[in-house]
């Protein structure tokens, strides 16, 4: 980035705005400019009129001329209020025009929904908060959704995972625009690492079950003793179903195969034990892994971090004390 022409960043705001993501965008792309030079030239524009009602009931008064998007080098979209609600057509058209001229489009958390409604993610890889994944895939089947990483780049379009992942993406953009030294400085100011290890997979919980009573009993039996070497054929037999019927019923009820669910259940239980400071070998045995080395490999594959790293991070968090 050259210092001759400041990089123009426009942050979009709308009714029901998430204050965490909006505040992060304003703090990083605008407020940091008061102490950093060179920096972005940032401003905020409302997409829903001059007075906005935020998610917490408070209000914002902002300029509402979307024409500023046509002069923006980067457009930031904090989380959208409802994945089922199509954003204003005027905003979608402005984003389409910005994309055509090569502007950088950045979404935080469910802000990816806006880009998807605009058709700008079709055929591209993108991410969003893992809790929106199922509905997102239903609404936007042309998007290659990947809920593992903290953020994804697809050309000039950048999408980030839920909530705090917006900071990870913002720091990556700062590093690209101003270099590693400035990015490190921003990270220190925010008291976060410049690059976190792993992805949002390490925070995913087991899906909510809408299973029948028969399938629920099988699930409860498995969860009661994850140390056992559970075989899917045996679980199908326990449910009184053929393997084919069991697989189909499990997939439709849980949203993933029985094999995937069992693996995730073992990983989630391992997280609990690691958070308590248990040794790797103990965790591997209690969660049904064949060996400590197999556990390490599968845990890292699933969460993006090694078990020892996850345990250390949880222990550091546990050291915090509240008066």
Whether the per-residue pLDDT at 236 is higher than 50: the answer is yes
Segment 95-105 shows an average pLDDT of: 96
CATH 3.40.50.880 residue ranges for the chain: 8-202
Segment 174-200 shows an average pLDDT of: 73
Given this model, what pLDDT does residue 255 score?
72
- Write down the mean pLDDT value for the chain: 86
Considering only 16-25, 114-123, 314-323, which range has the smallest mean pLDDT? 314-323
CATH 1.10.10.60 residue ranges for the chain: 205-318
Beta bridge partner(s), residue 52: 60
Length of the chain: 323
Reading the block at residue 272, the tokens are 């609990």
Give the whole-angstrom CA distance, residue 150 versus residue 202: 11
Given this model, what pLDDT does residue 106 score?
96
Residues 18 and 91: beta-carbon distance below 8 Å: no
Whether the per-residue pLDDT at 198 is higher than 90: the answer is no
Confidence of residue 2 (pLDDT cuts 50, 70, 90): very low
3-state secondary structure of 45: strand
Whether the per-residue pLDDT at 80 is higher than 70: the answer is yes
| Residue 239: Cβ-neighbour burial (10 angstroms; 0-12, 13-18, 19+) | buried
Segment 242-252 shows an average pLDDT of: 89
CATH code assigned to 8-202: 3.40.50.880
Given this model, what pLDDT does residue 264 score?
85
pLDDT tens track for 115-157: 999 999 999 999 999 889 889 999 999 999 988 788 888 999 9
Confidence of residue 180 (pLDDT cuts 50, 70, 90): confident
Confidence of residue 76 (pLDDT cuts 50, 70, 90): very high
Q: Which fold has domain 205-318?
A: Arc Repressor Mutant, subunit A (1.10.10)
Considering only 42-46, 155-159, 249-253, which range has the smallest mean pLDDT? 249-253
Considering only 84-88, 159-163, 251-255, 267-271, which range has the smallest mean pLDDT? 251-255
């Amino acid at each position: 980035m050259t210092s001759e022409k400041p990089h123009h960043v426009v942050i979009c705001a709308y009714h029901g705005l998430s204050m965490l993501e909006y505040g992060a965008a304003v703090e990083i792309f605008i407020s940091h400019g008061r102490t950093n030079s060179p920096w972005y030239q940032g401003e905020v524009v409302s997409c829903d009129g001059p007075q906005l009602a935020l998610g917490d009931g408070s209000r914002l008064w902002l300029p509402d001329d979307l024409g500023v998007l046509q002069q923006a080098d980067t457009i930031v979209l904090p989380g959208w209020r409802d994945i089922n609600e199509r954003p204003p057509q005027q905003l979608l058209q402005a984003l389409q025009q910005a994309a055509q001229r090569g502007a950088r489009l950045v979404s935080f958390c469910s802000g990816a929904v806006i880009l998807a409604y605009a058709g700008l993610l079709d055929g591209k890889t993108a991410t969003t908060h893992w809790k929106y994944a199922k509905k997102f895939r239903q609404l936007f089947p042309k998007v290659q959704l990947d809920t593992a990483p903290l953020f994804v780049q697809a050309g000039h379009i950048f999408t980030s995972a839920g909530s705090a992942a917006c900071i990870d993406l913002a720091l990556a953009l700062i590093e690209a625009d101003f270099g590693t030294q400035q990015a490190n400085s921003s990270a220190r100011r925010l008291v976060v690492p410049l690059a976190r290890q792993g992805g949002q997979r390490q925070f995913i919980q087991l899906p909510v079950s809408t299973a029948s009573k028969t399938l629920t009993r099988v699930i409860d039996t498995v969860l009661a003793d994850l140390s056992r070497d559970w075989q899917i054929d045996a679980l199908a037999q326990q449910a009184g179903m053929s393997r084919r019927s069991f697989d189909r019923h499990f997939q439709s009820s849980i949203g993933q195969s029985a094999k995937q669910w069992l693996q995730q259940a073992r990983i989630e239980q391992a997280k609990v034990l690691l958070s308590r400071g248990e040794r790797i070998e103990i965790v591997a045995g209690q969660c049904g892994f064949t060996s400590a080395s197999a556990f390490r490999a599968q845990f890292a594959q699933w969460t993006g971090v090694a078990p020892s790293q996850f345990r250390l991070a949880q222990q550091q968090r546990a050291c915090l004390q509240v008066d």
